[in-house]
Amino acid sequence: MRSPLPDYLTEVLEACVDDSGALADYIPELAKADPDRFALTLVTAEGAIYSVGDDDTEFTIQSVSKPFVYGLALQERGFDQVLDVIDVEPSGEAFNEVSLERNTGRPLNPMINAGALAAHALVLHGRRPEEAVESIRSLLSSLAGRDLVIDEKVATSELGTAYRNVALANLLRGYEVFEDDPDEIVEGYIRQCSVTVTTKDLALMAATLAAGGVQPVSGEQIFSRDVVRQVLSVMTTCGMYDAAGDWLSTVGIPAKSGVSGGIIGILPGQLGIAAYSPRLDEHGTSVQGVAAFGRLSRDMNLHLMDAPIVAHSVVRRKRVWGEGDDAVTVLELQGDLQFTSAEVLVRAVVDEPPATKRLAFDLSLVRAILPVGRRMLLEMIGRLHRDGLEVVVVDPDGHLPEPDTGYGFRPRVYASQDEMEARS
């Protein structure tokens, strides 16, 4: 059987063809793009790639570089220093607006140009300008899984008309948001925006954020989980500029657009998406890209606020084996143990206490346990022990290493129900 996914994505492309919008022309070189190019790529957090349309067409990354450079600044300088320099509030204004905090001049967020210039300055500080650009090119290359190059023609073209960015950088320098030469910052930032990519590259970059910072094909941990959480939070509220609220309510996928026509979207834990089509709407975002994201979100239930109903199925099976004092109730758990599924489990045990003196939690089919799930499970085991039950755990994957309940009781751990049966 051929996977239906590429056919479905082709259908999405065909359904979203629309010749409205206009090429960006404030960067003269961008106005030369073929307006009819259209590509869509999906990469799952496990690294499966589905790609259709003009997915080998190269274009410059532009503002889609901003979340990644912000991530680099966070990783290199630490949260405190970055937050001192760039705020995380949506500006509700266009990407090139002078959206600075009153008195301090701190850019409102790192997705608008003012904040992106400041993020570039954080990466640049203490380095030579070409080293800063190289560290960014190299980061974007690791995220894409191939060596990316800078389109010097586009960079030169933008530098020739970068009046607003030069003004912004000088304003930021005037407020002492950074100490480096504003011209160097503008040049470095524009070269950062001129790294050339395809939708496959962008979808792999997006999937790395979806996979908690791990590039899904190489397996390299590029960003820490904390950095990814911060980057995605800011993308969710600020990534689509003055259309951020509309985008979040209708499409519901944290996203970032660029004026060359690229858009990335990230569904944490699930997938990265990239679209490319160079005709733009009034926000500087790809018209066909917006349509494709809207369609994917609706068809595939990808809206972030469409909560999956996972909690109810945490107890896969409850069974009792043995007789009398030897009888044991086994609760076979499944899925992920986060707060809500742990709460369902606690409630199941409270509402229907085991009728036996022995109780086993079998975690064989549990995929992951968050710290809150671990705490709640151990707290429950401690309380059950205090109430006189003998509690054991079947944990072949080591979800609960050396389980300490904090009640002076550590439950016995077995690798399987067979082992538990044989040894008890």
Name the site residues for ligand DON (rule: CB under 6 A): 62-63, 95-96, 113, 158, 165, 190, 193, 257-259, 284-285
**Among this protein's residues, is 259 annotated catalytic?**
yes
Of residues 51, 52, 66, 214, which has the active-site annotation? 66
Q: Between 190 and 378, whose beta carbon lies closer to ligand DON?
A: 190
- Nearest-approach distance from CB 158 to ligand DON, in angstroms: 6
**Among this protein's residues, is 256 annotated catalytic?**
no
Q: Between 94 and 346, whose beta carbon lies closer to ligand DON?
A: 94
**Among this protein's residues, is 66 annotated catalytic?**
yes
Q: Between 93 and 390, whose beta carbon lies closer to ligand DON?
A: 93
- Nearest-approach distance from CB 56 to ligand DON, in angstroms: 21
Of residues 69, 133, 231, 259, which has the active-site annotation? 259
Q: Phi first, then psi: give them for residue 299, nearest 5 degrees.
A: -65, -40
**Among this protein's residues, is 189 annotated catalytic?**
yes
- Nearest-approach distance from CB 20 to ligand DON, in angstroms: 17
Q: Dig out the tokens for 179 from the structure.
A: 């100490």
Q: Between 169 and 391, whose beta carbon lies closer to ligand DON?
A: 169
- Nearest-approach distance from CB 124 to ligand DON, in angstroms: 16
**Among this protein's residues, is 63 annotated catalytic?**
yes
Q: Which residue is nearest to ligand DON (CB)?
A: 63
Of residues 82, 91, 214, 241, which has the active-site annotation? 241
- Nearest-approach distance from CB 86 to ligand DON, in angstroms: 16
Q: Between 195 and 271, whose beta carbon lies closer to ligand DON?
A: 195
Active site residues: 63, 66, 189, 241, 259
